A and B are shown apart, each in its own frame.
Chain A
C-alpha cells in the first residue's frame, strides 16, 4: 500500500512539474540542461527537422515486427546543444528516469526517433520522441541493460 501511495505522490509531483515547467511550452519537444550551451537548450520540432535525419529498421522489446524509425542521431543533438559530459539523465513524460553514458551515442547510431513506420510518434504512443538503439546491428544491444535506455515519451536530457 505504501508503495502505491509513493508512486501516486511521485506522479502528482511530476504532474505539477509538467504544468509548471517550460518543457510544456508550445512546440518544445526536448529540453537539454546541465553541461550544455548556456546551461539550457530547448529544441522544437522545427529545430530537429532542420538537422540531418537518419533511419533504420530494428526489432524492439515492445513490438512484434521490425519498425522503421526515422529521426536525428543522439550525438548530433548533443553536439548541437554543445554538450560536454560523460552521461545524460533522460526523463520521460511519466517521470521515467534513466542514466545513459554518452559513450553509447558514439559507439552506436542511437536515434532520437520522431517517426515509426512513416507515422509521426505522438504522446499517445511513444512520442513525440523516442530514444532508439540499432538493436539488430549489435548483438550486445539485445539485452535488458540496453533496453532500459530506450526512453519513450522523452522530454528532457540532463547532461553531466
Chain B
C-alpha cells in the first residue's frame, strides 16, 4: 500500500522531527551557556577591579600626602593601615587571578612586604617609606590603564559571547519555527488525505449499497414476473377449460346450468386475476412512494364489518359464513386511512380463509389497549413453524405446502407496509389450539 511517495513523506516527517529535536537541543545548550555567562557577569560586577585598583591608588596618594605634609603619627598610621589593607585585597583570590590574567601580578607583588618592612608603628624610616610610597604611586599609575583595558577586554569578550548566543538563539528559534511549520504542513496534508480517503470510502459504500438495492429490485422484478406468470396461468387455464367445455363438439347440448356453472368458475378466476393485479399495482405504487396515508378517525369495527362483507361478495366457492365476529359494543376509534386499512383487513381475512380447512372457523375480534386498537383474525389452518414465521413477511414468500394455492406472496408484505405507514403494525403469532393469529394494531385516536 505504501508507495514511494508515501515513503518520501515519512522520511520528510522523520527529518523534520529530527530538526526540531536538534534545535531544541541547541536551545537547551544555549540556556546553559546563558546561565553560565549571567553568573560570570554577576561575579564580575562584584569584582569591580577598576574601583578596587583606583581605591588602592587613592590610598597610596593619601599616605604620600600625609607623609609629605608631616601629618600626626596616628594619622600616618591610619593611612598606612588602609593602604596595606588595599594591597592585601589585591593579593587575595579573585583580585590576584584578575591581575595574573592581565599580566600585572609580577609588577605589583612585593610592594606590600616592602611597606610592612617600613611600618611606622615599628619605627620605620619615614623618608624611606615616602620614597617607597612615591614609587608605588608611580607603579600603580602606570598600571591603572592596563587594569581598565583588561576589565573592558573581558567585558567586551563577554558581550561578544552574549551576542553570539543571541544570534544562535535567533537561528534556533527560526529553525524550530520553520521545522514546526513543515511538520504542520505535512500533518495537515495527511489529515486532508485521510479525510479524502474517508470520503472515498463513504462514496464507495454508498455505490455498493445502491448497487445492492438495484440488484434486489431487479431480482424482485424477476421473481415478480415469474410469480405473476405462474399465478396468471392457473385462472387463465380455468377460464380456458370452461370455454373449451362450452364449445366442445359432440359433448351433447350445452345446458343453461352448464353455462351458468362455467360462467361462475370463469368469473371467480377473473376476480382472482383482478385481485392479483390490484396487489401488484399497490406494491408497485408503494415502492415508488406513490401511496400516501390520509389519516383520520375511524371506528375500526365498521371497517372490519365492511371488509367481511366484501369477502362475502367476492368469495363464491368458500363459505364466508365461517367468519365469526366478536365486536365490542363501544366504538373502537383508530387514527387510520380507511382505504389502506380495508386493504390490510381484506388481505388478512383472505389469507385466513385460504389457509383454513373448508369447515374451519375464522374468528375476528376487535379490542383496544392503552395506545392501540387491535383487530385479531384467528384461523384454524396448519399454522407455521418458527422458521416460517421469521420470513412470513418477506416478499414473495409462500407458505410451505401452499405453493399451489393462489396468491402473490405479497399479501403479508403489503399488509405490514401499509400498517406501518399508518403508525401501526401487523404481527403473526401461533394460535393456541392450532393455526395462526394475525393481529393488526393501529394507533388510537388521541382524544383532544
A interface list, Cβ under 8 A from B: 7-8, 11-12, 15, 18-19, 24, 61-65, 93-94, 122-126, 142-144, 147, 152-153
- Taking CB atoms and an 8 Å cut-off, the chain B residues in 75-130 that contact chain A are 75, 78-79, 81-82, 84-85, 88-89, 92-95, 97
Contact of A143 among B42, B75, B81 (CB under 8 A): B42
A125 to B86, CA, bound (A): 8
Say what secondary structure dominates the interface of chain A. Answer: loop
Closest to A18 in B: B78
| Chain A CB within 10 Å, residue with most, of B71, B85, B88, B92 | B85
Beta-carbon contact of A11 and B92 below 8 Å: no
Beta-carbon contact of A63 and B81 below 8 Å: no
Q: How many A-B contacts are there with CB distance less than 8 Å?
A: 73
Closest to B116 in A: A124
Q: List 17 A-B contacts (CB under 8 A).
A: A7-B54, A8-B58, A8-B65, A11-B59, A11-B62, A15-B62, A15-B71, A18-B75, A24-B74, A61-B43, A62-B92, A64-B93, A94-B59, A94-B82, A123-B82, A143-B42, A153-B85
Chain B residues positioned under 8 Å from A126 (CB to CB): 85, 89
B interface list, Cβ under 8 A from A: 42-43, 45-47, 54-55, 58-59, 61-62, 65-66, 71-72, 74-75, 78-79, 81-82, 84-85, 88-89, 92-95, 97
Beta-carbon contact of B78 and A124 below 8 Å: no
**A124-B88, A126-B85 as given contacts; A15 in contact with B93, CB under 8 Å:** no
Closest to A64 in B: B93
Contact of A124 among B65, B72, B85 (CB under 8 A): B85
Contact of B81 among A11, A12, A64, A123 (CB under 8 A): A123
Beta-carbon contact of B94 and A11 below 8 Å: no
Output the least CB separation between B76 and chain A (Å). 10
Output the least CB separation between A89 and chain B (Å). 19
Chain B residues positioned under 8 Å from A15 (CB to CB): 62, 66, 71, 75, 78-79
Beta-carbon contact of A124 and B84 below 8 Å: yes
Chain B residues positioned under 8 Å from A93 (CB to CB): 78, 81-82
Output the least CB separation between A91 and chain B (Å). 13
| Chain B CB within 10 Å, residue with most, of A94, A124, A125 | A124
A122 to B85, CA, bound (A): 9
Chain A residues positioned under 8 Å from B95 (CB to CB): 62
Output the least CB separation between A2 and chain B (Å). 14
| Chain B CB within 10 Å, residue with most, of A11, A93, A123, A126 | A11
A122 to B62, CA, bound (A): 19
Beta-carbon contact of A12 and B65 below 8 Å: yes
Chain A residues positioned under 8 Å from B66 (CB to CB): 15
